[in-house]
Amino acid sequence: MSMPNTIAEPIESKLDFEHYKRKERIKSWAKGMLFLLPSIILFTVFLFYPLVRTIYLSFFLTNAAGETTVFVGWENFARMFNSPIFMQSMKSTFLFVLYTVPLTIIISLFLALLANEKLRGIGIFRTIYSSTMGISVAAASVFWLYLFHPSIGFLNMIVTGLGFERIGWLTDPTWALIAVAITTIWMNLGFTFLILLGGLQSIDGYLYESADIDGAGYFYKLKNITIPMLSPTLFFVVTVTIINAFQTFGQIDILTQGGPQNTTNLIVYSIYREAFVNYQFGSASAQAVVLFIIILIMTIIQFKLGERKVHYQ
Amino acid sequence: MGHVELVDLSKSYDKQKSVLDGINLTIEEGEFFVLVGPSGSGKSTLLRMIAGLEEITGGTLKINNETVNHLPPKDRNLSMVFQNYALYPHLNVEQNILFGLRAKKVSKQEQQERLMEAVEMMGLGEYLKRKPRELSGGQRQRVALARSIVSQAPLCLMDEPLSNLDAKLRAHMRIEIRRLQKRLGLTMVYVTHDQVEAMTMGDRIMVLNDGKIQQVGKPIHLYNEPANLFVASFIGSPKMNLGNAVFVEESKELVIENALSIKNNSAYLENIKRTEKLKIGIRAEHIFPATSETATHHLEVVNVEQLGNETIVAFDIGAELWTAKWAGQWSVQVGERVPVKIDMDYLCFFNAKTGDLIRPAHFSKEKEVAAI
């Protein structure tokens, strides 16, 4: 009698043990979900549902109220890629990204390097450089609208003062996109500057001291310490700036409304016009889906490239 | 003619109270010089001033007989090892070691020669392609050392280089650094807060407290004849036993902390002013175990630490806790009254008010005389 008991007991207790562990796992999973619930609900209502709905809409024609009428399959997409206006809009968008992203990064990196020096009153400059972060798109656009004004605008006063012809900043097709790009760069500087300055300040000062003793010059240190150590921050800033550039809307709406000759009709503005001016919710949705895919691909490419170059601590 | 000379050097921030004051010091060529002091004593600041990383407020700093106050770090011909090693996390071991040489545009061939030499010396051969985060603390330490070796600077500064290592590795690296310094004939200025490191490594030690030099000298000298109470309590482990003392004329006794009286049988104490307030100190190893016949006192044991090769016994003397260090293993129990021998000759006398040494322990005088 006693023999089988002694063998059976350890097995039984082992089974209990497994059961207990499983129960713990379920409990901790439930707890985790509980913590995630608020953001799951918010994301579902404001992100996942609209995303799914947009994809759904992109396969239909709609009436003016946005209700689906006819299922057209890929026709919205096909028509879109054959439309010269949409292709122009794509071209403008990519040009716009090309104008704004590198310049924003370079200028704000330069400002951040300046503001990272230990000088008297440097706090004032840091405040000034980051101040555009606190200005809304609308306010900044109106402000630039006056600067760009053909006759009383400050920019044209400089241009004529230097003896050049007046420039129709917002009305000349060759200048309009550049004007919007300048506005956008100026608006993005504050945020980018602040993030880069934060990145610079988190670099260990000992590294520079050690380099000083080794006799490294300023640019040698910049190239071999600052930039590599800043690479995760730079990577983040590049990603965010690119996404922002693709989604530019406010300044277009106020400065040019997509004109002249559709040169500033960037993709988000084009989506807006298609949906709320032309009431073509189906094709607007199709454009939105394309934008989503473009940004997704760009970000994936960046992460793939970035992984090799970026150094994380 | 010293390698590094500090003449009346001082440092203050924003014209406030000075952090370092009146530092006069000469460090000889090829010397292992240790700056030791508690945290906040200004020892790291002093080192950084020598390196050129910290502005000199007053006085002159000379390296090789040339005033270098105005020179940037790179023109002072020195190397430095930092407490956290300051390795570049994005570069591998080889790139880290060669960083300075590349900055100075040393030829590729010479870079490789120096690298190989340093790598061999530090035993880093298999780690050349690794990043710092893939190395252990001791290996990182070696990379930092290798980096200062390849610079071939005759003066090497080290700022608490061993404080991030565990005790066992620290003891090992102490020997390695000392050996390296001797082998390359470096002049070394070494900052530490660990008095054991200071004692075991330094040719000479400078004890710093509150920005002022307390004493400069050979380790043994500092141990036997501490210039003041601060050095007495800082140098040596366990620390020197201290206590207030008064001479009682009638009984010709010295009474310590109102608890311990010692017969004044030593002639050499004659010219200590009897009226002065005194503080005495005695090293733990000078409170000897005794038999009932030879004992001068019987003291109650409050704690016993068995270290295997020696036994540390603690006693309450008035308000002070005294420790005695006895060679070998002694089976004493807490609460037991044990016979000990405390001899007047082993006492150091300090002025209680100023803290300055009046008279060192007699035995050390005797030995020095014998040595000469």
Mean pLDDT of B225-250: 88
Collect all residues with Cβ–Cβ distance below 8 Å to A104 and sequence separation of at least 6. A184, A185, A188, A189, A192, A241
pLDDT at residue B258 in the model: 82
| Residue A46's pLDDT band (cuts 50, 70, 90) | very high
Question: What tens digit of pLDDT does each residue of A97-134 get?
Answer: 999 999 999 999 999 999 998 888 899 999 999 888 88
- pLDDT value of position B241: 92
Phi, psi of B166 (to 5 degrees): -80, 165
State what percent of residues in chain A have pLDDT above 70.
Answer: 94
B74/A215 CB distance under 8 A: yes
Q: Residue B196 and residue B282: Cα distance in Å, rounded?
A: 19
With tokens 């730079």, the residue in question is A234
The residue among A140 and A65 whose pLDDT is bigger is: A140
Which segment of B77-91, B177-191, B257-271, B330-344 scores lowest on mean pLDDT? B257-271
For residues A5 and A169, which has the higher predicted lDDT (pLDDT)? A169
Window A:191-220, CB contacts with B under 8 Å: 204, 206-207, 209-217, 220
Q: Which residue has the tokens 């240190």?
A: A221
> Beta partners for B144?
none
Q: What is the mean pLDDT of chain B?
A: 87
Which residue has 């960083």 as its token pair? Answer: B99
How confident is the model at residue B372, as a pLDDT? 41
Does B99 contact chain A (CB < 8 Å)?
A: yes
Q: State yes or no: pLDDT of A3 exceeds 60.
A: no
Lowest-pLDDT range, A219-233, B94-108, B356-370? Answer: B356-370
Q: Please check whether residue A285 is in contact with residue A57, taking contact to mean a CB–CB distance below 8 angstroms.
A: yes
* Test the A interface: residue of B82, B98, B106, B133 with most A CBs within 10 Å: B82
Partners of residue B63 in chain A, C-beta under 8 Å: none
CB A209 within 8 A of CB B70: no
Q: For A283-293, what is each residue's pLDDT tens digit?
A: 899 999 999 99
Give the three-state DSSP class for B339. strand
Per-residue pLDDT for B343 more than 90? Answer: no
Q: Which of residues 101-120 of B touch A (CB under 8 A)?
A: 103-104
Q: Is the ipTM of this complex over 0.85?
A: no
Residue B72 touches partner A, C-beta closer than 8 Å: yes
For residue A13, what pLDDT is reported? 56
Q: What is the DSSP letter of A164?
A: P
Q: Name residues 136-165 of chain B within 8 A of A (Cβ).
A: 151
Please answer yes or no on whether A206 and B86 come within 8 Å at the CB atom. Answer: yes
Q: CATH code for B4-230?
A: 3.40.50.300
In the prediction, which pLDDT does B359 show?
83
pLDDT surpassing 50 at residue A267: yes
**Cis before A260 (ω within 30):** yes
Tell me how far apart the terminal alpha carbons of chain B are, to the nearest angstrom: 25
How many A/B residue pairs have CB atoms within 8 Å? 64
CB contact under 8 A, A214 and B104: yes
Query: In the structure, what pLDDT confidence band is assigned to residue A225 with cuts at 50, 70 and 90?
Result: very high
Of B91, B317, B83, nearest in space to B193 by CA:
B83
Show me where the domains of chain B are located. Answer: 4-230, 238-285+296-371
B247 Cβ under 8 Å from any chain A Cβ:
no
| Domain with residues A82-309, CATH architecture | Orthogonal Bundle (1.10)
Option in B88, B89, B103 nearest A220 (CB): B103
Contacts of A212 in chain B (CB under 8 A): 52-53, 72-74
pLDDT digit string (tens) for B50-91? 999 998 988 999 999 899 999 999 888 899 999 888 999 989
Asked if pLDDT for residue B369 goes beyond 60, the answer is no
Distance (Å) from the alpha carbon of B114 to chain A's nearest alpha carbon: 15
Best of A210, A229, A233, A313 to mutate (most B CBs within 10 Å, chain B)? A210
Neighboring chain B residues of A215 at a CB cutoff of 8 Å: 73-74, 100, 103-104
Residue B326: pLDDT band by 50, 70, 90 thresholds?
A: very high
B86 touches chain A (CB under 8 A): yes
A8: pLDDT strictly greater than 80: no
CA separation, residue B23 to residues A57, B202, B209, B329 (Å): 81, 19, 12, 45
- Testing the interface with B: which of A204, A206, A209, A213 to mutate, by most B Cβ within 10 A? A213
Could B89 and A229 be called an inter-chain contact, meaning their C-beta atoms sit closer than 8 Å? Answer: yes
* B73 Cβ under 8 Å from any chain A Cβ: yes
A70: enclosing H helix or E strand: strand A68-71
Model confidence band, residue B268 (pLDDT cutoffs 50, 70, 90): low
Residue spans of the domains in chain A: they are 2-57, 82-309
